[in-house]
A and B are shown apart, each in its own frame.
Chain A
């Protein structure tokens, strides 16, 4: 193989053919191209002229160059060019390809896969048997050496694992390897405990080569809370220069979309191995953060999941009603503040309303007995919606009648009168201790300090369900904490006080732990091994090797003991696990982690950098030759003047391919419609599907628009026909909807739009155009159709237009509303039932609301309709009376549009005489 710079040639002798190029040049120039035949009358003058040279100048130099290039490309292509030729790997025995496949190798996994592919093709050429083994997913049986093409199909399926392989398994596996095996080890660059032993094993069996990449490894440690700020630290291998890494805090935004919520930069100083970032976030935002991630690193080590440790719950404290100037240490709130202040966001307010508006997770009532009916309902709603209501007893509760007779939904149990006092100065007994928590209690496992005593408590009424609701008891079996699930939430009552008056509980650490367990506050530390014992944890999300979040709710539960070891492996993937103790995040990185580079012995050859991929350039060269020849065809055509027609066709074809598919016509028409409909007032009619009816409606609205323009200050533009299925309706003050027997029933989407239109103040005038028939029969097909159409519409109760309806006087004073026909009732929204005629007033005081629908059958559009020349389209009635009827129809139209546009303004005017009269006095 001949190598020229990065190029190698498989059969370099063929390159000698390049010497023939100048000959080709000369040949191409000498051989005349085919003549062009031209019709030319001046040929009579040419006859007898001879050429001065025998060489054609038809072929320009650049065309020659093009052809020479094509030939040169062909020659080079057949000489077998290879970019970055790899020196042939010697060795003939089986080849073992070992991949670390840890999270650290995920950062350049495709490069590793490509390297393996190259190795496989080399082995293919050398006919070597190959086994590809990932250390994190060792073969369950013996390592099988197979033909390289078997592995070539499987390379794409290899994935890195989000953990580091277990040394014991590896040494066991290495024992099973056959003798005389060369190895190629794709290392992740980190020092792992199993390295030395495996290396020794491999070296004993044959040559070992190692491949490493120089891409930096960065790992992130889980975030810690430090004085309200989040501290995230990043780690790297020692010996780096100063660098900045960007760390993203990622979580769901309020709309549920995962996004970067915050971002910060951690700077590594020169030579430092870790850098940290302080992020100060709003509690709301901080609670949303699901993970931290180093930007640009795509592996599980660059992701730090968050758990409860970062979550802070909002706790609402109803404070107001103490109303006394107590000493701080006597105030029950003091202890709560002390316990909750560092781990939760406390909201204090005397108003239940205000507290619930902040959407707290927990509402704490301390010895509150008087809640108004409204407040009770609000709190109950809060609890039913998943809130936690935590109540403390106290003298007030003991003295009140709360929960005496019947179940109070805001108390978990019924209470006995008075409560009891044991161990006070005036009682015989001594203060009671707490009994160990039952295993099914949320407090299970908490250690009860011996100094915690209870001297007074309120007592629960014995009840069959009491034991179920009790989650903590005193030594004598009386309930101390009771809980009742209500709706999605729960009500918890601590039967003693939140201050040290009745008990010493608030003085002990147990108080804090109990609050934690009740999820009032959240834990600020990982549970210790003892707490983990006997618990089961459900993985929620786990990370794969690339650091992608994978939903893991279908994975088996993990025992707390395993979780406590924090040793990641195939059974314990990094991720978020939930259990009774809350949620725990397992991450690859930790605050004290140290990344150490693997130092290979000098005897092991290491491919340090990314090797350049060997690339066979034969195909590109052939393609280039082909392309050049194509260009040559075009050029030759162009030179002979035959390109113009062909060129136009090609250009058209190319343009057709390049041209974007036309945007949907609907979108365009929508914009046009919106512009047309909003540039001035526009009357609109709904297209009924019958072109004749639509034409009449269009002409009718046009006629009405003209009359409005002439007589009023309403100056409508040309009316528009709208399709309720497609068009936006909100632009139109009124829709005229002629109903035919076959009017289509709108689709659900159209109904939604129509209802929105009606609710948004639009008006629809339904015209069944059947008034002359309706008098004869009970119903007409059109009326039935209207019923079918209107069934799904949001239409209020209707009544026939009352005499004092504002439609009768918005512009003209009208008594009836004829169109082409007359005499039938017109229906509008019914007036409220309680509207009454005021003494001395001509009209009822009906101020609110423009009727959303008007239903009639008078075929108004036909009466309004005009031809293009302004003459009426239809004859109305007969003679002068008919013209009179048309005039009234126009007046109705004017009243209608005025009503639509001015609303109840005319109705208000009714009071003007009265006001004026009063002012005059």
Chain B
């Protein structure tokens, strides 16, 4: 089990080489809370944005007299509206995530935490607000990092995890990290609900290579990580093709869900370097800015 300080150090090390991530809020006007950077439009903020001619609807005290004194017109000084993006993470803490097909490989849970926290570090550095499902509301600032780190550690007793029902800030972003091997309806429901609230996001399916390859032979009893599910076979190798078909179907279902909701899906294997997955996440969340 990765301890909190080392996990955080590893996450920070992983996040360090990437440029600060600036989340682009798609719905500028709808966001309320001020952030650390401008939204390229007038609003609440500290930075000067523009002087505009005062209209009769403007409140008197808002007229900038210094600027107005230089001409016959009245001007209002507007500041740039600054707001932060809210990104909510869900990192699957179910028992299934603790699996690793090889003692030398990190478990899926470790990889999920690392990716989630790395993303959080990037986002927080960029001034975004980061929250964690089920019960950590999105907050900005590096002070958020420590509670996040502690919150991602630990495991649930259930075999497979589903995103908990929670009201996410509308039009914010969400990132779900899980193996999505459990009941797909939970995920579908959560994603659909979120999409309904205008939330866009990414699904990262973290799989162990053993789950992909199914390298087993002979008479075997397969147990789920908690031991609740069992399946016995005389010839494990015979099951391989059908298992892989089912896995592919599960992946297709995820992709279909993503297409329907405008989310993105990434299948990430624990034997791949985490940086690629983080880079992908970053581009997904950053994509809106370029759009």
Q: Is B259 an interface residue (CB 8 A)?
A: no
Contact (Cβ within 8 A) B234 A49: no
Q: Is B218 an interface residue (CB 8 A)?
A: yes
Contact (Cβ within 8 A) A42 B243: yes
Q: Give the distance in Å from the alpha carbon of A501 to the alpha carbon of B1 in the complex.
A: 120
Chain B residues, CB < 8 A from A54:
234
The chain B residue sitting closest to A36, CB to CB, is: B220
Contact (Cβ within 8 A) B225 A39: yes
A38-B216, A49-B243, A58-B217 are contacts. A43–B237 as well, Cβ < 8 Å?
A: no
A37-B220, A44-B182, A56-B219 are contacts. A51–B234 as well, Cβ < 8 Å?
A: yes
Contact (Cβ within 8 A) A43 B229: yes
* B245-267 contact mask (Cβ, 8 Å, vs A): 1 or 0: 01100100000000000000000
Chain B residues, CB < 8 A from A51:
233-235, 238-239
Contact (Cβ within 8 A) B99 A40: yes
The chain A residue sitting closest to B179, CB to CB, is: A41
Most buried by A among B160, B242, B250: B242
Most buried by B among A42, A47, A53: A42
Q: Give the distance in Å from the alpha carbon of A40 to the alpha carbon of B228 in the complex.
A: 11
The chain B residue sitting closest to A640, CB to CB, is: B218
Contact (Cβ within 8 A) A35 B242: no
Contact (Cβ within 8 A) B99 A39: yes
The chain A residue sitting closest to B226, CB to CB, is: A39
- Interface size class on chain A is 20 to 34
Contact (Cβ within 8 A) B231 A46: yes
Q: Is A45 an interface residue (CB 8 A)?
A: yes
Contact (Cβ within 8 A) B229 A47: yes
Chain B residues within 8 Å of chain A by Cβ, number: 38
Q: Is A33 an interface residue (CB 8 A)?
A: yes
Chain A residues, CB < 8 A from B97:
41
Q: Which A24-38 residues have a C-beta within 8 angstroms of B?
A: 32-38
Q: Is A55 an interface residue (CB 8 A)?
A: yes
Q: Is B151 an interface residue (CB 8 A)?
A: no
Number of A-B contacts (CB under 8 A): 107
Contact (Cβ within 8 A) B96 A53: no
Identify whether the interface residues of A are mostly helix, strand, loop, or mixed.
Answer: loop
A39-B225, A51-B233, A52-B238 are contacts. A45–B220 as well, Cβ < 8 Å?
A: no
Contact (Cβ within 8 A) A38 B221: yes
* A34-78 contact mask (Cβ, 8 Å, vs B): 1 or 0: 111111111111110101111111100000000000000000000
Least distance between B150 CB and chain A CB atoms (Å):
25
Partner of B242, one of A39, A49, A53, A55: A49
Contact (Cβ within 8 A) B223 A43: yes
A41-B224, A42-B247, A44-B224 are contacts. A55–B234 as well, Cβ < 8 Å?
A: yes
Chain A residues, CB < 8 A from B220:
35-38
Chain B residues, CB < 8 A from A35:
219-221, 232
A51-B238, A53-B238 are contacts. A38–B217 as well, Cβ < 8 Å?
A: no
Identify whether the interface residues of B are mostly helix, strand, loop, or mixed.
Answer: mixed
Chain B residues, CB < 8 A from A42:
181, 211, 214, 222, 243, 247
Q: Is B104 an interface residue (CB 8 A)?
A: no
Q: Give the distance in Å from the alpha carbon of A572 to the alpha carbon of B139 in the complex.
A: 117
The chain B residue sitting closest to A43, CB to CB, is: B222
Q: Give the distance in Å from the alpha carbon of A41 to the alpha carbon of B230 in the complex.
A: 10
A43-B230, A51-B235 are contacts. A57–B218 as well, Cβ < 8 Å?
A: yes
Chain B residues, CB < 8 A from A58:
217-219, 234
Contact (Cβ within 8 A) B223 A40: yes
Contact (Cβ within 8 A) B181 A41: yes
Chain B residues, CB < 8 A from A32:
219, 234
Contact (Cβ within 8 A) A40 B222: yes
Contact (Cβ within 8 A) A36 B99: no
Contact (Cβ within 8 A) A53 B235: yes
The chain A residue sitting closest to B230, CB to CB, is: A43
Contact (Cβ within 8 A) B235 A57: yes
Chain B residues, CB < 8 A from A53:
234-235, 238
Least distance between A62 CB and chain B CB atoms (Å):
15
Q: Give the distance in Å from the alpha carbon of A32 to the alpha carbon of B233 in the complex.
A: 11
Q: Give the distance in Å from the alpha carbon of A158 to the alpha carbon of B212 in the complex.
A: 77
A42-B214, A44-B224, A46-B243 are contacts. A56–B181 as well, Cβ < 8 Å?
A: no
Q: Give the distance in Å from the alpha carbon of A38 to the alpha carbon of B230 in the complex.
A: 10
Chain A residues, CB < 8 A from B237:
57
A56-B218, A57-B217 are contacts. A41–B234 as well, Cβ < 8 Å?
A: no
Extra A-B contacts (18), CB below 8 Å, given A32-B219, A36-B220, A39-B222: A35-B220, A35-B221, A36-B218, A38-B220, A38-B221, A39-B99, A39-B224, A40-B210, A41-B211, A43-B223, A44-B229, A45-B243, A46-B233, A47-B231, A49-B231, A51-B233, A53-B234, A56-B218
Give 8 A-B contacts (CB < 8 Å), ordered by A residue.
Answer: A33-B218, A36-B218, A39-B225, A41-B208, A41-B224, A44-B160, A49-B231, A57-B217
Closest 6 pairs between A and B when the two form their complex, measured CB to CB: A41-B96, A58-B218, A35-B219, A45-B246, A43-B222, A40-B222
